[in-house]
Chains A and B, each alone.
Chain A
Amino acid sequence: MSVQDFALAAEVAARRRWGATAALLALVVLLLVLSLGIGPVRLSPLAVIEALFGGGSDVAQVIVREIRLPRTILAFAIGGILGLSGAALQGLLRNPLASPSLFGAPQSAAFGAVLVIALGLADVRSYALPVVAIITAFGSVFALLAIAGRNAGLLILILAGLAISSFAGAATALVMNLSSNPFVVLEIAFWLLGSLEDRSFQHVALALPFIIAGAAILLSQASAFRALTLGEEAAQSLGVDVGRLRLFVITGVALGVGGAVAVTGTIGFIGLVAPHLMRPLIGHDPARLLVPSALTGSALLLAADIAVRIIPSTSDIKVGVLTSIIGVPFFLYLIMRERRALGGGAA
Protein backbone atom coordinates (compact mmCIF):
# COMPACT_ATOMS: atom_id res chain seq x y z
CA MET A 1 0.00 0.00 0.00
CA SER A 2 1.29 3.42 -0.97
CA VAL A 3 0.38 7.04 -0.50
CA GLN A 4 -1.36 6.92 -3.88
CA ASP A 5 -3.64 4.00 -2.89
CA PHE A 6 -4.38 5.87 0.22
CA ALA A 7 -5.35 9.09 -1.52
CA LEU A 8 -7.45 7.12 -3.98
CA ALA A 9 -9.45 5.37 -1.24
CA ALA A 10 -10.12 8.71 0.44
CA GLU A 11 -11.23 10.19 -2.87
CA VAL A 12 -13.67 7.37 -3.64
CA ALA A 13 -15.30 7.79 -0.25
CA ALA A 14 -15.42 11.56 -0.69
CA ARG A 15 -17.06 11.23 -4.11
CA ARG A 16 -19.78 8.99 -2.70
CA ARG A 17 -20.49 11.50 0.05
CA TRP A 18 -20.65 14.39 -2.39
CA GLY A 19 -23.07 12.44 -4.57
CA ALA A 20 -25.38 11.82 -1.62
CA THR A 21 -25.19 15.46 -0.51
CA ALA A 22 -25.91 16.73 -4.02
CA ALA A 23 -28.95 14.44 -4.32
CA LEU A 24 -30.16 15.70 -0.96
CA LEU A 25 -29.72 19.29 -2.05
CA ALA A 26 -31.78 18.60 -5.18
CA LEU A 27 -34.51 17.08 -3.00
CA VAL A 28 -34.56 20.16 -0.78
CA VAL A 29 -34.85 22.48 -3.80
CA LEU A 30 -37.71 20.37 -5.14
CA LEU A 31 -39.50 20.52 -1.79
CA LEU A 32 -38.95 24.29 -1.61
CA VAL A 33 -40.68 24.75 -4.94
CA LEU A 34 -43.49 22.35 -3.99
CA SER A 35 -43.96 24.13 -0.68
CA LEU A 36 -44.36 27.45 -2.49
CA GLY A 37 -46.89 25.90 -4.86
CA ILE A 38 -49.18 24.18 -2.36
CA GLY A 39 -52.07 25.82 -0.57
CA PRO A 40 -55.66 26.87 -1.26
CA VAL A 41 -54.45 28.04 -4.67
CA ARG A 42 -52.24 25.39 -6.24
CA LEU A 43 -49.50 26.64 -8.48
CA SER A 44 -47.37 24.58 -10.83
CA PRO A 45 -43.62 24.52 -10.20
CA LEU A 46 -43.07 26.64 -13.30
CA ALA A 47 -45.59 29.24 -12.16
CA VAL A 48 -43.90 29.29 -8.75
CA ILE A 49 -40.48 29.93 -10.23
CA GLU A 50 -41.89 32.59 -12.54
CA ALA A 51 -43.66 34.37 -9.68
CA LEU A 52 -40.61 34.11 -7.48
CA PHE A 53 -38.54 36.07 -9.97
CA GLY A 54 -41.17 38.72 -10.56
CA GLY A 55 -43.07 37.21 -13.52
CA GLY A 56 -46.58 35.82 -13.90
CA SER A 57 -49.79 37.33 -12.56
CA ASP A 58 -49.85 39.78 -9.66
CA VAL A 59 -51.97 37.37 -7.63
CA ALA A 60 -49.45 34.56 -8.08
CA GLN A 61 -46.65 36.92 -7.09
CA VAL A 62 -48.41 37.96 -3.88
CA ILE A 63 -49.22 34.35 -3.00
CA VAL A 64 -45.71 33.07 -3.60
CA ARG A 65 -43.59 35.96 -2.44
CA GLU A 66 -45.58 37.36 0.42
CA ILE A 67 -47.76 34.56 1.76
CA ARG A 68 -45.86 31.36 1.15
CA LEU A 69 -42.22 32.43 0.98
CA PRO A 70 -41.87 33.27 4.70
CA ARG A 71 -43.42 29.94 5.66
CA THR A 72 -41.15 28.09 3.28
CA ILE A 73 -38.04 29.92 4.44
CA LEU A 74 -38.92 29.14 8.07
CA ALA A 75 -39.53 25.46 7.31
CA PHE A 76 -36.17 25.26 5.52
CA ALA A 77 -34.23 27.13 8.22
CA ILE A 78 -35.89 25.56 11.25
CA GLY A 79 -35.76 22.02 9.87
CA GLY A 80 -32.12 22.66 9.05
CA ILE A 81 -31.12 23.94 12.47
CA LEU A 82 -33.00 21.11 14.19
CA GLY A 83 -31.22 18.49 12.06
CA LEU A 84 -27.90 20.25 12.64
CA SER A 85 -28.48 20.51 16.41
CA GLY A 86 -29.29 16.81 16.59
CA ALA A 87 -26.14 15.87 14.70
CA ALA A 88 -24.04 18.21 16.84
CA LEU A 89 -25.41 16.86 20.12
CA GLN A 90 -24.91 13.30 18.94
CA GLY A 91 -21.34 14.19 18.00
CA LEU A 92 -20.63 15.91 21.31
CA LEU A 93 -22.06 13.08 23.40
CA ARG A 94 -20.98 10.26 21.05
CA ASN A 95 -24.48 9.03 21.39
CA PRO A 96 -27.01 8.22 18.67
CA LEU A 97 -29.99 9.02 20.89
CA ALA A 98 -29.00 12.59 21.67
CA SER A 99 -31.28 15.27 20.26
CA PRO A 100 -32.69 18.63 21.29
CA SER A 101 -36.23 17.37 21.84
CA LEU A 102 -35.23 14.37 23.95
CA PHE A 103 -33.18 16.75 26.08
CA GLY A 104 -36.10 19.09 26.63
CA ALA A 105 -34.55 22.05 24.80
CA PRO A 106 -37.62 22.96 22.67
CA GLN A 107 -39.91 22.39 25.63
CA SER A 108 -37.80 24.69 27.78
CA ALA A 109 -37.62 27.30 25.04
CA ALA A 110 -41.41 27.07 24.75
CA PHE A 111 -41.72 27.63 28.48
CA GLY A 112 -39.65 30.79 28.17
CA ALA A 113 -41.73 32.03 25.27
CA VAL A 114 -45.02 31.16 26.98
CA LEU A 115 -43.92 33.05 30.07
CA VAL A 116 -43.32 36.14 27.98
CA ILE A 117 -46.68 35.83 26.21
CA ALA A 118 -48.73 35.01 29.30
CA LEU A 119 -47.28 37.74 31.44
CA GLY A 120 -47.85 40.15 28.61
CA LEU A 121 -44.24 41.22 29.00
CA ALA A 122 -43.79 41.86 25.34
CA ASP A 123 -45.53 41.79 22.01
CA VAL A 124 -45.56 38.37 20.35
CA ARG A 125 -43.51 39.81 17.53
CA SER A 126 -40.77 41.43 19.60
CA TYR A 127 -37.25 40.14 20.02
CA ALA A 128 -37.96 39.51 23.72
CA LEU A 129 -39.63 36.24 22.71
CA PRO A 130 -36.65 34.56 20.99
CA VAL A 131 -34.20 35.99 23.52
CA VAL A 132 -36.07 34.54 26.48
CA ALA A 133 -36.63 31.26 24.60
CA ILE A 134 -32.89 31.06 23.89
CA ILE A 135 -32.04 31.70 27.53
CA THR A 136 -34.35 28.96 28.80
CA ALA A 137 -33.15 26.54 26.11
CA PHE A 138 -29.55 27.25 27.11
CA GLY A 139 -30.45 26.66 30.76
CA SER A 140 -32.03 23.31 29.97
CA VAL A 141 -29.18 21.92 27.86
CA PHE A 142 -26.62 23.24 30.31
CA ALA A 143 -28.47 21.63 33.22
CA LEU A 144 -28.76 18.35 31.34
CA LEU A 145 -25.04 18.14 30.59
CA ALA A 146 -24.19 19.16 34.14
CA ILE A 147 -26.47 16.49 35.62
CA ALA A 148 -25.29 13.82 33.21
CA GLY A 149 -21.60 14.48 33.84
CA ARG A 150 -18.68 13.98 31.49
CA ASN A 151 -19.03 10.40 30.36
CA ALA A 152 -22.73 9.82 30.72
CA GLY A 153 -24.27 6.70 29.25
CA LEU A 154 -27.46 6.57 27.21
CA LEU A 155 -29.67 5.82 30.16
CA ILE A 156 -28.60 8.79 32.27
CA LEU A 157 -28.92 11.19 29.35
CA ILE A 158 -32.39 10.00 28.48
CA LEU A 159 -33.61 9.99 32.06
CA ALA A 160 -32.21 13.47 32.66
CA GLY A 161 -33.75 14.64 29.37
CA LEU A 162 -37.09 13.17 30.37
CA ALA A 163 -36.95 14.91 33.73
CA ILE A 164 -36.06 18.26 32.16
CA SER A 165 -38.70 18.12 29.45
CA SER A 166 -41.32 17.05 32.01
CA PHE A 167 -40.29 19.92 34.21
CA ALA A 168 -40.47 22.39 31.32
CA GLY A 169 -43.90 20.98 30.41
CA ALA A 170 -45.11 21.32 33.98
CA ALA A 171 -43.77 24.87 34.24
CA THR A 172 -45.56 25.74 31.00
CA ALA A 173 -48.78 24.19 32.31
CA LEU A 174 -48.42 26.19 35.50
CA VAL A 175 -48.12 29.44 33.56
CA MET A 176 -51.25 28.57 31.58
CA ASN A 177 -52.98 27.48 34.78
CA LEU A 178 -52.30 30.79 36.45
CA SER A 179 -53.17 32.85 33.42
CA SER A 180 -56.47 34.66 33.94
CA ASN A 181 -57.20 35.31 30.28
CA PRO A 182 -58.78 32.26 28.57
CA PHE A 183 -58.02 33.59 25.10
CA VAL A 184 -54.35 33.83 25.90
CA VAL A 185 -54.44 30.26 27.18
CA LEU A 186 -56.08 29.00 24.01
CA GLU A 187 -53.60 30.88 21.89
CA ILE A 188 -50.69 29.40 23.84
CA ALA A 189 -52.11 25.89 23.63
CA PHE A 190 -52.32 26.07 19.85
CA TRP A 191 -48.96 27.75 19.55
CA LEU A 192 -47.35 24.95 21.59
CA LEU A 193 -48.43 22.39 19.02
CA GLY A 194 -45.96 23.87 16.58
CA SER A 195 -47.03 25.39 13.30
CA LEU A 196 -45.68 27.30 10.33
CA GLU A 197 -49.02 28.67 9.26
CA ASP A 198 -49.54 32.36 8.55
CA ARG A 199 -45.98 33.32 9.26
CA SER A 200 -44.73 36.60 7.83
CA PHE A 201 -41.34 38.09 7.04
CA GLN A 202 -41.47 39.62 10.51
CA HIS A 203 -41.26 36.10 11.89
CA VAL A 204 -38.42 35.30 9.54
CA ALA A 205 -36.54 38.38 10.74
CA LEU A 206 -37.19 37.32 14.32
CA ALA A 207 -35.83 33.80 14.03
CA LEU A 208 -33.33 33.79 11.19
CA PRO A 209 -30.48 35.80 12.77
CA PHE A 210 -30.41 33.46 15.77
CA ILE A 211 -30.69 30.35 13.62
CA ILE A 212 -27.83 31.50 11.40
CA ALA A 213 -25.67 32.36 14.42
CA GLY A 214 -26.40 28.98 16.02
CA ALA A 215 -25.66 27.12 12.80
CA ALA A 216 -22.39 29.00 12.31
CA ILE A 217 -21.26 28.11 15.83
CA LEU A 218 -22.13 24.42 15.44
CA LEU A 219 -20.53 24.12 12.01
CA SER A 220 -17.33 25.79 13.23
CA GLN A 221 -16.82 22.93 15.70
CA ALA A 222 -17.15 20.16 13.11
CA SER A 223 -13.66 18.70 13.29
CA ALA A 224 -13.71 18.61 17.11
CA PHE A 225 -16.64 16.18 16.94
CA ARG A 226 -14.48 13.88 14.84
CA ALA A 227 -11.68 13.95 17.43
CA LEU A 228 -14.27 13.17 20.12
CA THR A 229 -14.80 9.80 18.45
CA LEU A 230 -11.85 8.69 20.57
CA GLY A 231 -13.46 9.91 23.80
CA GLU A 232 -13.03 13.17 25.70
CA GLU A 233 -9.60 12.41 27.11
CA ALA A 234 -8.05 11.42 23.83
CA ALA A 235 -9.69 14.39 22.10
CA GLN A 236 -8.23 16.70 24.70
CA SER A 237 -4.82 15.10 24.21
CA LEU A 238 -5.17 15.90 20.49
CA GLY A 239 -5.65 19.57 21.31
CA VAL A 240 -9.45 19.88 21.57
CA ASP A 241 -10.59 22.10 24.41
CA VAL A 242 -13.50 19.90 25.43
CA GLY A 243 -14.89 22.29 28.04
CA ARG A 244 -15.05 25.11 25.53
CA LEU A 245 -16.52 22.81 22.89
CA ARG A 246 -19.38 21.87 25.23
CA LEU A 247 -20.14 25.50 25.86
CA PHE A 248 -20.11 26.25 22.11
CA VAL A 249 -22.47 23.37 21.36
CA ILE A 250 -24.88 24.32 24.13
CA THR A 251 -24.87 27.92 22.91
CA GLY A 252 -25.32 26.94 19.26
CA VAL A 253 -28.18 24.57 20.02
CA ALA A 254 -29.86 27.09 22.34
CA LEU A 255 -29.60 29.91 19.76
CA GLY A 256 -31.01 27.74 16.99
CA VAL A 257 -33.72 25.96 18.94
CA GLY A 258 -34.69 29.03 20.95
CA GLY A 259 -34.94 31.15 17.80
CA ALA A 260 -36.97 28.45 16.04
CA VAL A 261 -39.37 27.77 18.91
CA ALA A 262 -40.03 31.47 19.39
CA VAL A 263 -41.75 31.72 16.02
CA THR A 264 -43.18 28.24 15.47
CA GLY A 265 -43.73 26.60 18.84
CA THR A 266 -42.29 23.17 19.51
CA ILE A 267 -41.43 21.00 16.55
CA GLY A 268 -39.89 17.80 17.84
CA PHE A 269 -37.90 14.80 16.71
CA ILE A 270 -36.40 16.18 13.51
CA GLY A 271 -33.06 16.49 15.29
CA LEU A 272 -33.21 12.87 16.36
CA VAL A 273 -34.27 11.43 13.01
CA ALA A 274 -32.16 13.41 10.53
CA PRO A 275 -28.66 12.13 11.45
CA HIS A 276 -29.90 8.53 11.49
CA LEU A 277 -31.25 8.81 7.97
CA MET A 278 -27.87 10.07 6.81
CA ARG A 279 -25.54 7.53 8.44
CA PRO A 280 -26.12 4.77 5.90
CA LEU A 281 -25.30 7.24 3.08
CA ILE A 282 -22.59 9.46 4.58
CA GLY A 283 -20.99 7.18 7.15
CA HIS A 284 -20.61 7.69 10.87
CA ASP A 285 -18.06 10.51 10.88
CA PRO A 286 -19.78 13.07 13.14
CA ALA A 287 -18.12 16.01 11.37
CA ARG A 288 -19.34 14.96 7.93
CA LEU A 289 -22.85 14.32 9.19
CA LEU A 290 -23.51 17.95 10.13
CA VAL A 291 -24.40 19.48 6.75
CA PRO A 292 -26.29 16.45 5.38
CA SER A 293 -28.25 16.22 8.64
CA ALA A 294 -29.17 19.88 8.33
CA LEU A 295 -30.36 19.33 4.75
CA THR A 296 -32.32 16.26 5.84
CA GLY A 297 -33.91 18.26 8.64
CA SER A 298 -34.93 20.90 6.09
CA ALA A 299 -36.35 18.26 3.78
CA LEU A 300 -38.27 16.59 6.62
CA LEU A 301 -39.86 19.79 7.88
CA LEU A 302 -40.64 21.04 4.36
CA ALA A 303 -42.24 17.68 3.57
CA ALA A 304 -44.18 17.62 6.85
CA ASP A 305 -45.38 21.17 6.23
CA ILE A 306 -46.49 20.21 2.73
CA ALA A 307 -48.23 17.14 4.15
CA VAL A 308 -50.29 19.10 6.68
CA ARG A 309 -51.55 21.23 3.81
CA ILE A 310 -52.64 18.34 1.62
CA ILE A 311 -53.92 15.83 4.21
CA PRO A 312 -57.69 16.27 4.07
CA SER A 313 -59.08 17.09 7.52
CA THR A 314 -61.79 19.26 9.00
CA SER A 315 -59.40 21.36 11.06
CA ASP A 316 -55.74 22.17 10.50
CA ILE A 317 -53.20 19.59 11.48
CA LYS A 318 -50.26 21.29 13.16
CA VAL A 319 -46.87 20.40 11.72
CA GLY A 320 -45.37 19.88 15.20
CA VAL A 321 -48.00 17.25 15.88
CA LEU A 322 -47.16 15.46 12.66
CA THR A 323 -43.39 15.42 13.27
CA SER A 324 -43.96 13.96 16.74
CA ILE A 325 -46.41 11.35 15.44
CA ILE A 326 -43.75 10.21 12.99
CA GLY A 327 -40.79 10.84 15.29
CA VAL A 328 -41.88 8.97 18.39
CA PRO A 329 -42.26 5.55 16.71
CA PHE A 330 -38.84 6.13 15.18
CA PHE A 331 -37.50 6.86 18.65
CA LEU A 332 -39.02 3.60 19.90
CA TYR A 333 -37.36 1.78 17.04
CA LEU A 334 -34.01 3.31 18.02
CA ILE A 335 -34.52 2.30 21.65
CA MET A 336 -35.12 -1.24 20.44
CA ARG A 337 -31.95 -1.14 18.41
CA GLU A 338 -29.91 0.31 21.27
CA ARG A 339 -31.52 -2.04 23.80
CA ARG A 340 -28.25 -3.61 24.74
CA ALA A 341 -26.53 -0.31 25.53
CA LEU A 342 -29.57 0.93 27.43
CA GLY A 343 -29.73 -2.24 29.49
CA GLY A 344 -26.30 -1.42 30.81
CA GLY A 345 -24.59 -4.09 28.75
CA ALA A 346 -26.15 -6.92 30.75
CA ALA A 347 -27.89 -8.45 27.75
Chain B
Amino acid sequence: MTLLSATGLDASLGNRKVLRDVSLSLAAGHLVALVGPNGAGKTTLLRALAGLIPSDGEIRIGGDALASLALRERAKRFAYLPQGHMVHWPLPARDIVALGRYPHGATDPARLSPRDMEAVLRAMQAVDVTAFSDRRVTELSGGERSRVALARVLAVEAPVILADEPTASLDPRHQIDVMQKLRNVADTGVLVIVVTHDLGLAARFADHVLVLSEGRLAAQGAPDAALSESVLASVFRVSAYRAEFQREAVIVPWADV
Protein backbone atom coordinates (compact mmCIF):
# COMPACT_ATOMS: atom_id res chain seq x y z
CA MET B 1 0.00 0.00 0.00
CA THR B 2 1.26 3.47 -0.90
CA LEU B 3 2.47 5.52 2.07
CA LEU B 4 4.29 8.32 0.32
CA SER B 5 3.67 9.56 -3.20
CA ALA B 6 4.79 12.46 -5.34
CA THR B 7 3.25 13.60 -8.60
CA GLY B 8 4.96 15.93 -11.06
CA LEU B 9 7.45 17.21 -8.54
CA ASP B 10 9.56 20.21 -9.62
CA ALA B 11 12.05 22.03 -7.43
CA SER B 12 14.61 24.77 -7.95
CA LEU B 13 17.64 25.98 -6.07
CA GLY B 14 17.95 29.64 -6.90
CA ASN B 15 17.48 29.85 -10.66
CA ARG B 16 18.60 26.32 -11.34
CA LYS B 17 15.92 23.72 -11.82
CA VAL B 18 17.07 20.71 -9.83
CA LEU B 19 14.06 18.37 -9.98
CA ARG B 20 11.91 17.91 -13.07
CA ASP B 21 8.62 16.10 -13.09
CA VAL B 22 9.46 13.43 -10.53
CA SER B 23 6.62 11.04 -9.78
CA LEU B 24 6.91 8.16 -7.38
CA SER B 25 4.83 6.00 -5.12
CA LEU B 26 6.43 4.21 -2.19
CA ALA B 27 5.06 1.65 0.21
CA ALA B 28 5.41 1.22 3.97
CA GLY B 29 7.90 -1.42 5.06
CA HIS B 30 10.21 -0.84 2.11
CA LEU B 31 13.83 0.14 2.10
CA VAL B 32 14.24 2.44 -0.88
CA ALA B 33 17.68 3.35 -2.19
CA LEU B 34 17.98 6.71 -3.95
CA VAL B 35 21.01 6.68 -6.21
CA GLY B 36 22.42 8.94 -8.90
CA PRO B 37 25.57 10.76 -9.91
CA ASN B 38 26.76 13.83 -7.96
CA GLY B 39 24.48 16.77 -8.60
CA ALA B 40 21.59 14.61 -9.79
CA GLY B 41 19.27 16.16 -7.18
CA LYS B 42 19.13 13.35 -4.62
CA THR B 43 19.40 15.57 -1.55
CA THR B 44 16.96 18.05 -3.07
CA LEU B 45 14.44 15.27 -3.65
CA LEU B 46 14.80 14.12 -0.05
CA ARG B 47 14.33 17.67 1.24
CA ALA B 48 11.34 18.26 -1.03
CA LEU B 49 9.67 15.03 0.11
CA ALA B 50 10.04 16.11 3.75
CA GLY B 51 8.70 19.56 2.92
CA LEU B 52 11.95 21.24 3.97
CA ILE B 53 12.15 23.17 0.70
CA PRO B 54 9.34 24.51 -1.48
CA SER B 55 8.42 22.44 -4.53
CA ASP B 56 5.74 22.33 -7.20
CA GLY B 57 3.63 19.24 -7.70
CA GLU B 58 1.80 17.19 -5.16
CA ILE B 59 3.21 15.16 -2.30
CA ARG B 60 0.90 12.93 -0.30
CA ILE B 61 1.82 11.23 2.94
CA GLY B 62 -0.47 8.71 4.58
CA GLY B 63 -3.53 10.06 2.76
CA ASP B 64 -2.85 13.75 3.49
CA ALA B 65 -1.44 16.40 1.18
CA LEU B 66 1.92 17.46 2.60
CA ALA B 67 1.08 21.09 1.91
CA SER B 68 -1.89 20.88 4.27
CA LEU B 69 0.20 19.72 7.22
CA ALA B 70 1.65 22.09 9.83
CA LEU B 71 5.38 22.00 10.53
CA ARG B 72 4.87 20.03 13.76
CA GLU B 73 2.75 17.42 12.03
CA ARG B 74 5.28 17.00 9.23
CA ALA B 75 7.98 16.56 11.83
CA LYS B 76 6.08 13.62 13.32
CA ARG B 77 5.73 11.91 9.94
CA PHE B 78 9.22 12.41 8.51
CA ALA B 79 12.41 11.69 10.38
CA TYR B 80 15.18 13.38 8.43
CA LEU B 81 18.86 12.56 8.75
CA PRO B 82 21.00 15.18 7.01
CA GLN B 83 24.39 14.48 5.51
CA GLY B 84 27.40 14.59 7.76
CA HIS B 85 25.81 13.90 11.18
CA MET B 86 26.51 17.48 12.18
CA VAL B 87 26.40 18.24 15.90
CA HIS B 88 27.42 21.79 16.79
CA TRP B 89 27.72 21.57 20.58
CA PRO B 90 29.34 18.79 22.61
CA LEU B 91 26.14 17.43 24.15
CA PRO B 92 25.90 13.94 25.65
CA ALA B 93 24.71 11.30 23.18
CA ARG B 94 21.53 10.79 25.21
CA ASP B 95 20.48 14.42 24.79
CA ILE B 96 21.05 14.22 21.05
CA VAL B 97 18.90 11.10 20.73
CA ALA B 98 16.24 12.74 22.93
CA LEU B 99 15.93 15.53 20.34
CA GLY B 100 14.12 12.91 18.29
CA ARG B 101 11.18 13.41 20.66
CA TYR B 102 11.07 17.14 19.93
CA PRO B 103 8.20 16.82 17.41
CA HIS B 104 6.18 15.05 20.12
CA GLY B 105 6.50 18.04 22.42
CA ALA B 106 9.38 16.68 24.52
CA THR B 107 11.70 19.65 24.09
CA ASP B 108 13.73 19.13 27.27
CA PRO B 109 15.83 15.94 27.50
CA ALA B 110 15.94 16.28 31.28
CA ARG B 111 12.17 16.14 31.55
CA LEU B 112 11.00 13.33 29.30
CA SER B 113 7.73 11.58 29.93
CA PRO B 114 8.05 7.83 30.57
CA ARG B 115 6.73 7.25 27.06
CA ASP B 116 9.33 9.51 25.46
CA MET B 117 12.06 8.03 27.62
CA GLU B 118 11.13 4.54 26.46
CA ALA B 119 11.21 5.65 22.83
CA VAL B 120 14.68 7.13 23.32
CA LEU B 121 15.91 4.00 25.03
CA ARG B 122 14.44 1.75 22.34
CA ALA B 123 16.13 3.78 19.64
CA MET B 124 19.46 3.67 21.46
CA GLN B 125 19.21 -0.05 21.96
CA ALA B 126 18.28 -0.64 18.32
CA VAL B 127 21.57 0.83 17.13
CA ASP B 128 23.55 -0.21 20.17
CA VAL B 129 24.64 3.15 21.58
CA THR B 130 23.48 2.85 25.20
CA ALA B 131 27.08 2.16 26.29
CA PHE B 132 28.16 5.72 25.55
CA SER B 133 24.93 7.52 26.35
CA ASP B 134 26.76 9.91 28.74
CA ARG B 135 29.68 10.62 26.42
CA ARG B 136 29.82 13.82 24.41
CA VAL B 137 28.97 13.20 20.77
CA THR B 138 31.90 15.28 19.62
CA GLU B 139 34.27 12.88 21.36
CA LEU B 140 32.89 9.78 19.66
CA SER B 141 34.41 8.09 16.63
CA GLY B 142 32.82 8.58 13.22
CA GLY B 143 31.11 5.19 13.38
CA GLU B 144 29.75 5.80 16.87
CA ARG B 145 28.56 9.26 15.94
CA SER B 146 26.71 7.96 12.89
CA ARG B 147 24.91 5.46 15.09
CA VAL B 148 23.92 8.20 17.55
CA ALA B 149 22.57 10.23 14.62
CA LEU B 150 20.65 7.18 13.49
CA ALA B 151 19.25 6.67 17.00
CA ARG B 152 18.06 10.27 17.02
CA VAL B 153 16.16 9.63 13.80
CA LEU B 154 14.70 6.35 15.08
CA ALA B 155 13.53 8.06 18.28
CA VAL B 156 11.10 10.16 16.25
CA GLU B 157 9.22 6.91 15.54
CA ALA B 158 8.01 8.41 12.28
CA PRO B 159 6.39 6.34 9.54
CA VAL B 160 8.97 7.66 7.04
CA ILE B 161 12.74 7.93 7.51
CA LEU B 162 14.74 9.97 5.03
CA ALA B 163 18.48 9.38 5.39
CA ASP B 164 20.96 11.36 3.32
CA GLU B 165 24.12 9.31 2.80
CA PRO B 166 24.12 7.71 6.24
CA THR B 167 27.02 5.46 5.22
CA ALA B 168 29.30 8.18 3.82
CA SER B 169 32.76 8.27 5.39
CA LEU B 170 32.24 5.04 7.32
CA ASP B 171 34.44 1.96 7.07
CA PRO B 172 32.98 -1.08 5.23
CA ARG B 173 31.84 -2.85 8.38
CA HIS B 174 30.03 0.24 9.70
CA GLN B 175 28.46 0.86 6.29
CA ILE B 176 27.00 -2.63 6.31
CA ASP B 177 25.91 -2.25 9.94
CA VAL B 178 24.07 0.99 9.26
CA MET B 179 22.31 -0.46 6.22
CA GLN B 180 21.36 -3.56 8.19
CA LYS B 181 19.92 -1.40 10.98
CA LEU B 182 17.87 0.56 8.45
CA ARG B 183 16.78 -2.73 6.89
CA ASN B 184 15.58 -3.90 10.32
CA VAL B 185 13.65 -0.67 10.80
CA ALA B 186 12.00 -1.03 7.39
CA ASP B 187 11.00 -4.56 8.33
CA THR B 188 8.98 -3.14 11.22
CA GLY B 189 6.78 -1.31 8.70
CA VAL B 190 8.62 1.97 8.28
CA LEU B 191 9.32 3.43 4.85
CA VAL B 192 13.07 4.11 4.75
CA ILE B 193 14.57 6.13 1.91
CA VAL B 194 18.36 6.11 1.81
CA VAL B 195 20.56 8.22 -0.44
CA THR B 196 23.72 6.32 -1.25
CA HIS B 197 26.54 6.24 -3.75
CA ASP B 198 27.23 2.61 -3.03
CA LEU B 199 25.40 0.61 -5.69
CA GLY B 200 26.51 -2.59 -3.99
CA LEU B 201 24.76 -1.65 -0.74
CA ALA B 202 21.71 -0.52 -2.70
CA ALA B 203 21.52 -3.83 -4.56
CA ARG B 204 22.00 -5.87 -1.42
CA PHE B 205 19.65 -4.13 1.02
CA ALA B 206 16.99 -2.24 -0.93
CA ASP B 207 13.56 -3.46 -2.00
CA HIS B 208 13.23 -0.62 -4.44
CA VAL B 209 15.76 1.61 -6.18
CA LEU B 210 15.19 5.13 -7.51
CA VAL B 211 17.77 6.26 -10.06
CA LEU B 212 17.94 10.02 -10.40
CA SER B 213 19.74 11.65 -13.29
CA GLU B 214 19.82 15.40 -13.90
CA GLY B 215 16.71 15.90 -11.81
CA ARG B 216 14.64 13.22 -13.51
CA LEU B 217 13.87 9.68 -12.47
CA ALA B 218 15.82 7.65 -15.01
CA ALA B 219 14.70 4.32 -13.64
CA GLN B 220 12.94 2.81 -10.66
CA GLY B 221 12.00 -0.63 -9.54
CA ALA B 222 13.56 -3.72 -7.99
CA PRO B 223 17.36 -3.42 -7.68
CA ASP B 224 18.34 -5.69 -10.57
CA ALA B 225 15.87 -4.00 -12.92
CA ALA B 226 16.61 -0.41 -11.86
CA LEU B 227 20.35 -0.96 -11.85
CA SER B 228 20.38 -2.68 -15.25
CA GLU B 229 23.35 -2.64 -17.60
CA SER B 230 21.80 0.09 -19.77
CA VAL B 231 20.88 2.35 -16.80
CA LEU B 232 24.38 2.08 -15.35
CA ALA B 233 25.87 2.89 -18.74
CA SER B 234 23.65 5.89 -19.49
CA VAL B 235 23.34 7.39 -16.00
CA PHE B 236 26.62 6.54 -14.31
CA ARG B 237 28.79 5.86 -17.38
CA VAL B 238 30.01 2.63 -15.81
CA SER B 239 29.48 -1.04 -16.35
CA ALA B 240 29.35 -3.50 -13.48
CA TYR B 241 30.59 -6.84 -12.34
CA ARG B 242 27.59 -8.81 -11.10
CA ALA B 243 27.58 -11.90 -8.98
CA GLU B 244 25.81 -13.63 -6.19
CA PHE B 245 27.45 -14.21 -2.82
CA GLN B 246 25.77 -16.11 0.02
CA ARG B 247 22.55 -15.81 -1.98
CA GLU B 248 22.65 -12.03 -2.09
CA ALA B 249 23.17 -9.78 -5.12
CA VAL B 250 26.62 -8.25 -5.57
CA ILE B 251 27.27 -5.31 -7.88
CA VAL B 252 30.75 -3.84 -8.30
CA PRO B 253 30.80 -0.78 -10.56
CA TRP B 254 33.55 -0.89 -13.17
CA ALA B 255 34.95 1.60 -15.63
CA ASP B 256 37.79 0.98 -17.99
CA VAL B 257 40.71 3.30 -17.50
Contacts and interface: CB of A to CB of B under 8 A. Distances in A.
Contacts, number: 100
B52 A284 contact: no
B109 A10 contact: yes
Interface stretch (B92-100, B167-175, B182-190, B195-203): B92-100
Interface string B61-83: 00000000001101110111110
Given A1-B130, A7-B117, A286 B89 contact: yes
B121 interface: yes
29 contacts: A1-B130, A3-B118, A6-B94, A6-B120, A9-B94, A9-B134, A10-B110, A10-B112, A94-B88, A223-B102, A226-B109, A227-B107, A228-B88, A230-B82, A230-B86, A230-B87, A230-B88, A231-B88, A233-B52, A234-B81, A234-B86, A238-B156, A239-B76, A239-B102, A239-B103, A284-B91, A285-B91, A286-B89, A287-B107
B216 interface: no
A283 B91 contact: yes
Given A1-B121, A230-B82, A238-B99, 6 more contacts: A3-B118, A6-B94, A6-B133, A229-B87, A230-B99, A234-B81
B108 interface: yes
A313 interface: no
Nearest to B118: A3
Contacts of B89: 94, 229, 284-286
A223 B108 contact: yes
A1 B133 contact: yes
Nearest to B131: A1
A240 B107 CA distance: 11
Interface residues of B, number: 44
A233 B124 CA distance: 22
B73 to A, nearest CB: 8
Interface residues of A, number: 31
A237 B75 contact: yes
B88 A226 contact: no
A279 to B, nearest CB: 9
B57 interface: no
A234 B80 contact: yes
A241 interface: yes
A236 interface: yes
B99 A227 contact: yes
A284 B90 contact: yes
Contacts of A227: 99, 102, 107
A10 B94 CA distance: 9
Interface in A1-46: 1-3, 6-7, 9-11, 13-14
Contacts of B103: 238-239
A309 to B, nearest CB: 38
B114 interface: yes
A6 B75 contact: no
B91 to A, nearest CB: 6
B105 to A, nearest CB: 9
